[in-house]
Structure 1
Amino acid sequence: EASNLVNKIVYDSKINSFWIATDQFIVKLKQEEVVHTKKFKPNIIFKSERSTKSIALSSNSGIWLSWIPGLHKFKNSKLVYNSQKANAWHGNCYSIIANANGSLWLGTLNGLWKFKNGEFIYYGKHHKLLKTRINSLFKYKNKLFVGTKGAGLIIYNINNDSTQIIDTKNGLTSNSITSIVNYKNNMYIATNKGLNILNLNNDKDYQIKQFDQGNGLLSDEITELQVFDSTLYIAGKKGINYIDFKQFNSENKLINTYIEKLRIGTTDTIVKEKYELKHKQNFINISFKAISFKSKQNILYRYKMYPIATNWIYTKKNELQFTSLTPGSYTFIVSAKNKSGKWNPANTTISFVISKPFWLSWWFIALVIAWLIILVIAIIHKSLLSVQKENRLKKELNLYMKKAINSQINPHFLFNTLNSINQHILKNDKLISSKYLNRFSIYIRSVLNALKNDFQSLSEELRISELYLELEQLRLKEKLKYEIKIDKSVVSREIHIPTLIITPFLENAIWLGILPKKEPGKVEIFIFQENKTLIISIKDNGIGRKESLKLQSNPDFNLSNPNPENTLERIKLLNNLYSDKIDISYIDIDENENKYGTIVNIKIKINGDKKSSFLSN
């Protein structure tokens, strides 16, 4: 009562018999019994302990069997080798190839092994592709054809230890291979989705032909292949087919393809050979089909899209999308492969021309270039004018700077100061004479040094102002008093202001405000800061601007008339040069309260940092 489930059949030409492996028995059956006897009693050689998955004829007589697990050898109906006992090898082997030198190739659950001289060598250690479960092996010349479960066909070159993979991307009907045989220059590869014929003429570009139920197979799910004489036997789930190679013609008709639908953006359009599109119409969806009653849905296509894809791209999809295409000319080519592995040379072609947007057109680019040239010329011209203006303003500024210095050391001022010092000398007041002569020399030296720079520190400016007030106080005695106050928030050494900007207003306050007054007068200087503005406030309690103007218009008025216009012009030039950073304002003290005088506020913009220098940016 042997099991009827046959796992493997091997023909032994030496004894003209078949070896048959079932789940329970190993059976030897003579060829004449198969051909001439309808009923026969099988010759059961032995009962196997487990299911036998593969049989191979040993080169030195006997047979190799793969049980699950382990590898075994029988000779003269006796077990002569057991891998579990001899080598502790427990691999689950599904296919065996016996070599003439006595070694074996083993296709196992965890990949490819070799058994040689009693040693098991694992090839999956150095080849990632050879780690997959192997269902079938076939050795042809120097190559080992490895049929895997799920990874396709792996061709292992024994001579140079290299691997090559062929799968559904290359035209196989499935990546799960069940059996491999050879006839002449073709490999026949069985899968769970049909039969594949691999032509070996060109090992760089293998040609694959496909056969399935559309070609007459009883079932696409093939379990075993065998070649006997010139006949291929195909065992499937629904029975056995056979192919007589003498009468077999594997060629099928070429498959024609056509464009089924074309969508530009989100709009379906009429299919035609050429399209003229705008630059925004750069999203293209192409649907195509091949006319084949045998292949049905299992059709392999190849396409190109010049110039972005110049090599063939293979796919089983019949819909493609091309997004964000840049302006230019494109040509789409597609063809299909028949069951015989032949590509139709009459490709289906469609072309597109996507126009450039106006900003990429030659006239627009030329216009932009011309505009840029004009803009550059205008900028250069403006820069030249700005430099010329700056140079002119600096020259004028230097001129008014010299005038300001001249006003500080004019002959009248020198005479009055020296005369005052001389009066003290005549009175034999040596200490005061020496003190004020020293102050006078420091003042003159400081004014002359100021000529070298357009700006100086606030502390230096106040020092010169105080020297001037001391000298005037020497001359006017009790007639003049002064006071200088600086807010604690002002860092006078680190703030820079225009040179000699305070003393002209002090001179104006004394000569036109204090001197015409009968009573003694006072000049006060207050320095403080509000936000980013430095304020220098000069206050006098003189006769006021209104009375001063009346006196100046009187021809009998014989006091020296200081002119602050030079300073005001210099400030105007500085504002033009440095974008309005100085402001001068006057406040007349209310006469209704019997108080007279003038307040001059000099406002200078500085950086936010209290320690920033004037005009540093």
Structure 2
Amino acid sequence: FLDDGIELRVETVTQHGKSKLLLGTTSGLWQFTDRKFEYLGALDPMLKNRITSIVTTKNDEIKVFGTKGFGVLVLTNDTAIYLNSSHGLTSNSVTSLLITGNLLWIATNNGLNCLDLTKVGTDEMRILMFSKQHGLISNEINQIAGNQEFIYIATNEGLTVFNHKDYRPVNDPPPIYINGFTVMEEDMPVRTGYSFRHNQNFISIRFTGISYREAGNLVYKYRLKGLGEDWVSTTNSQVEYAFLPSGKYHFEVMAVNSDGLMSSQPAIISFIIKPPIWKTWWFITILVLAASVLAFLFYSYRIKQIRHEAVLRNDISWYRQQSLARQMDPHFVFNTLNSIQSYIIKNDRLSSSQYLTKFSRLMRLMLNNSQQIAVPLNDEVSALNIYLELESIRFQEKFEFYLNIDPVIEPEVCYIPAFLIQPFIENSIWHGIMGIDRPGYIHVDLKLNETGNQVICTVEDNGKGRAQSMAEKALNDKNHKSLGVSIVESRLSLLNSLYGIEMKIIYTDLFDKQGNPAGTRVRINLPIIL
């Protein structure tokens, strides 16, 4: 019958009932009834594949479909059962099917298979396999036919006639032996247990199943417990494991013959790969303890360091307050106010107003700077400039002064400790210039050091010098000591300890050409505080 709307390449045709035909095609299963084609691939996904053979029992209760590459589908009235190589078929490419009594014969491109239809889907189902080892002329079968006595097997190599009633299957399972064990390509004597280092983790195991009929063509099933629980099938008689992690392993292998019989007991070999030393519990324990001790020591050190820094900061703050107290010395304040009073008595309003303005500005700068650990260089210079102006006016301009800042310094953003320079200027005035009968001068020079982390302050005067000043002190006041300078020296020592830097004071005596004292130069290294 011709239907121009349907194009089918038919592989096999089987009668179904009295008036239906089942067609196995390259596109799946079709049915032909009353001159109409009907696609049956929607009944089961398996039926959408290329169907190469269809057989049914006499009463059509069981229908069997062979496919190209997907094994066999067995359909009963209410169940569908799939059979493929995972169940024991020699291949999933089925070429022909045959039912003789209760036996289903499945021809493939890799041998012949047989099973009992009454046991399909049960735990008792067992697939028998027949190949060249059993006498077939070829494993690549094109078609089979026959009855309950003889099976005719057509191949490209010729025809095999198989009297399956005379076939006697092997009833004894094949024994299995492990006959070789290699570690890092070095043969080891075969025994039940081994212990290896962590870097001895390339393992090779050889085994052999005994079956004279199979002629060395047994199938092996093996697993390595500790790496996985699933069984793996192979026809090779050797397996290799590379880069195994540390742990306990239990290797099991069994042989399976063509009748599906499996070794009664697996061959077993066990071994241990030790962890590296850095993964052992005692090493980790020691490491944790060592880390804990180090952490505790570091914590103790940091607490001690923080406490030490706190003490240093407290001491620095105390000395800063002492420096402020020295700069706001009552004697200086009293003399300054007396000078202002004298201008007022003389009715010199302009001078008294200017003097008072400068004095109040100096007090405000000192109080503002006293609240800070470090102050901008600009503020410190402003306070020094006002102080020198007040002292110069008070001593009737007995000396001149100069303040010079290196142009590379940005005084607004360069922070230094407060109240460190003024005591040295005060020393120059009181112990240097006040003792001479010539015009005096004080030069203050500020510049950066080579590394840029310190300001070098130089205070130079043309006074009577340190030697004469100390001699006069010894005669007039043996117990007098310049507290302002000693406070500055103590602060610098504390800052050295706190910031880990080297700040020092260098005194240089100046002489004229005749070798007479001509003044003093003091160099102070001031830290730049970020």
TM-score range, shorter chain: 0.7 to 0.9
Please state if 1:473 is matched with 2:392: yes
CA distance change for structure 1 residues 390 and 184 in 2, over 3 Å: closer, same or farther? farther
Deviation string for 1:283-341 (max 9, x for gaps)? 21112232233334543211121122112122233322223333332110001111111
Q: Verify: 1:522 aligned to 2:442, yes or no.
A: yes
For residue 411 of structure 2, give the secondary structure of its aligned residue in structure 1. coil
Distance in 1 (alpha carbons) for counterparts of 2:491 and 2:409: 25
Alignment partner for residue 174 of structure 2, among 255, 258, 267?
A: 255
CA change 1:493–1:153 in 2 (3 A) is same
Q: Secondary structure at the match of 1:343?
A: coil
Matched with 2:195 is 276
Q: Normalised by the size of structure 1, how large is the TM-score?
A: 0.74
Q: Cα gap change, 1:332/1:466 in structure 2, threshold over 3 Å: closer, same or farther? A: same
Q: Which residue of 2 aligns with 1:306?
A: 225
Q: Is the 8 A contact 1:171 1:300 kept in 2?
A: no
Match of 2:301 among 379, 382, 390: 382
Match for 2:251 among 323, 332, 346? 332
Q: What is the CA–CA distance in structure 2 between the aligned matches of 1:382 and 1:520, rounded to whole Å?
A: 53
Change (3 A) 1:445 1:204: farther
Task: Please tell me whether residue 115 in structure 1 is matched to residue 115 in structure 2.
Answer: no
Counterparts of 1:45-444 in structure 2, within 5 Å, are: 81-83=1-3, 85=4, 87-89=5-7, 91-100=8-17, 104-109=21-26, 111-115=27-31, 118-121=36-39, 123=41, 127=45, 133-138=50-55, 141=61, 144-148=64-68, 151-155=69-73, 164=82, 166-167=84-85, 170-198=87-115, 201=119, 203=121, 207-251=126-170, 253-296=172-215, 298-444=217-363
1:195 offset after TM fit, Å?
1.1
2:458 pairs, out of 538, 542, 567, with 538
Which whole-Å CA distance do the structure 2 matches of 1:422 and 1:524 have between them? Answer: 30
Q: CA deviation at 1:134?
A: 4.1
Give the Å deviation of 1:98: 3.7
C-alpha deviation, 1:264, in angstroms: 0.7
Amino acid at match of 2:337: L
Shift in alpha-carbon separation, 1:562–1:274, aligned structure 2, 3 A: closer
What SS does the corresponding residue of 2:318 show, helix, strand or coil?
Answer: helix
Give the AA of the match of 1:115. Answer: Q
- Aligned to 1:452, the other structure's residue is in SS state coil
Cα 1:126–1:235 change in 2 (3 A) is closer
Q: Using the alignment, how far apart are the partners of 1:313 and 1:496 within structure 2?
A: 77
Number of matched pairs: 516
Q: Hey, what's the Cα distance between the residues in 1 that align with 2:459 and 2:229? A: 88
Q: 1:586 aligns with which of 489, 503, 506?
A: 506
Q: Give the Å deviation of 1:251.
A: 4.0
1:445 aligns with 364
The residue number in structure 1 matching 2:521 is: 598
Q: With the length of structure 2 as denominator, give the TM-score of the two structures.
A: 0.85
Moved more, 414-423 or 348-357: 414-423
Which one has more relative contact order, counting CA pairs under 8 Å at least 6 apart?
Answer: 2
- The Cα of 1:378 is off from its aligned counterpart by 1.8
> Is contact 2:247-2:272 (8 Å) kept?
yes
1:264 and 1:516, CA in 2 relative to 1: closer, same or farther beyond 3 A? farther
Contact 1:509/1:523 (<8 A) preserved? no
The corresponding residue for 2:491 is: 570
Between the aligned residues of both structures, percent identity stands at 28
What's the offset of the Cα at 1:487?
4.6
1:30-71 Cα distance to aligned partner (Å, 9 max, x none): xxxxxxxxxxxxxxxxxxxxxxxxxxxxxxxxxxxxxxxxxx
Secondary structure of the structure 2 residue equivalent to 1:397? helix
User: Is the Cα–Cα contact under 8 Å of residues 512 and 561 in structure 1 kept in the other structure?
Assistant: no
- Letter matched to residue 195 of structure 2: E
2:443 alignment partner AA: V
Structure 1 Cα separation of the partners of residues 276 and 21 of structure 2: 68
Measure, in 2, the Cα distance between the counterparts of 1:156 and 1:440: 114
Q: Provide the aligned C-alpha RMSD in A.
A: 3.4
Distance in 2 (CA, whole Å) between partners of 1:509 and 1:345 is 111
Matched residue SS, 2:285: helix
For the Cα contact (< 8 Å) 2:152–2:162, is it kept in 1? yes
* CA displacement at 1:395 relative to structure 2: 2.1
Alignment-derived partner of residue 21 in structure 1: none
**Quick one: distance in 2 between partners of 1:367 and 1:430?**
84
Return closer, same or farther for 1:579/1:142 CA change in 2, 3 Å cut-off: farther
The verdict on how the C-alpha distance between 1:431 and 1:585 changes in structure 2, with shifts beyond 3 A counting, is same
SS of the aligned residue for 2:229 comes to strand
Unaligned runs of at least 5 residues, structure 1: 1-80, 606-613
Distance in structure 2 (CA, Å) of the matches to 1:95 and 1:457: 103
- Cα deviation for residue 186 of structure 1 reads 4.2
The letter for the 1-side match of 2:523 is: V
Q: How big is the shift at 1:212?
A: 1.1
